[in-house]
């Protein structure tokens, strides 16, 4: 987006030498013209790169729930992104019974499946975000997290939120490197 903004602003940038005193107007404008040409050439090259990267984007459905209005996992180049996952019963908009421990376990099970679907794994996961509805659930969520990431765990942010869809205790989102 920055490239598009820069490119859109380029015509205005070439007009800056026209205002002011007569002395300013008589200066050669080679440098601004060269800078503008360079910026346009650079913008054209950079604009071509995202198109190539966009063609490397592959979206996969959620393994937790069919028919969602968003992808469960997206592979974009060398990274894999699993969106927020709740601990629901498979293909049902209801939570697994039992609270934080089984919900966390189910969420991470779905994340594992979706990472593998997109050619990655838990071992290649480098960042997770956990939303918790209750700070008191932090130790129980941590215990399950350790089960799934026993060695070299990813970085993680845990955010306490007032409410999670379906009244869930936890929602987990992870990013990983692509495996192949």
pLDDT tens string 42-74: 333 333 333 334 458 888 878 887 877 778 899
**Phi, psi (5° rounding) for residue 12?**
-65, -35
Query: Which tens digits make up the pLDDT trace of 162-177?
Result: 999 999 999 999 999 9
DSSP-derived letter for residue 89 is P
- Are 99 and 169 contacting, i.e. CB atoms less than 8 angstroms apart? yes
What is the rounded CA–CA span in Å between residue 114 and residue 65? 12
DSSP-derived letter for residue 15 is T
Average pLDDT, integer, range 72-79: 90
Query: Above 50 in pLDDT, residue 20?
Result: no
DSSP string, 30-45: HHHHHHHHHHHHHHHH
> CATH assignment of 57-177?
3.30.1330.40
What is the rounded CA–CA span in Å between residue 61 and residue 54? 18
pLDDT value of residue 69: 73
**Phi, psi (5° rounding) for residue 50?**
-60, -30
The three-state DSSP-derived secondary structure of 92-116 is CCCECCCCHHHHHHHHHHHHHHHHH
Domain limits, CATH 3.30.1330.40, in the chain: 57-177
């Amino acid at each position: 987006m920055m490239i598009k903004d820069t490119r859109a602003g380029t015509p205005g940038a070439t007009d800056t030498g026209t205002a002011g005193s007569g002395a300013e107007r008589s200066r050669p404008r080679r440098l601004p013209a060269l800078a503008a040409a360079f910026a346009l050439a650079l913008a054209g090259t950079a604009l071509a790169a995202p198109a190539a990267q966009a063609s490397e984007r592959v979206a996969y459905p959620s393994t937790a729930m069919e028919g969602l209005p968003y992808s469960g996992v997206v592979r974009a180049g060398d990274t894999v992104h699993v969106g927020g996952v709740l601990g629901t019963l498979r293909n049902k908009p209801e939570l697994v019974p039992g609270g934080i421990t089984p919900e966390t376990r189910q969420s991470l099970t779905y994340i594992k499946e979706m990472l593998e679907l997109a050619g990655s794994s838990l071992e290649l996961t480098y960042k997770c975000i956990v939303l918790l509805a209750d700070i008191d659930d932090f130790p129980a969520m941590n215990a399950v997290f350790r089960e799934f990431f026993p060695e070299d765990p990813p970085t993680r942010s845990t955010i306490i939120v007032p409410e999670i869809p379906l009244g869930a205790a936890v929602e987990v989102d992870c990013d990983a490197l692509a495996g192949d």
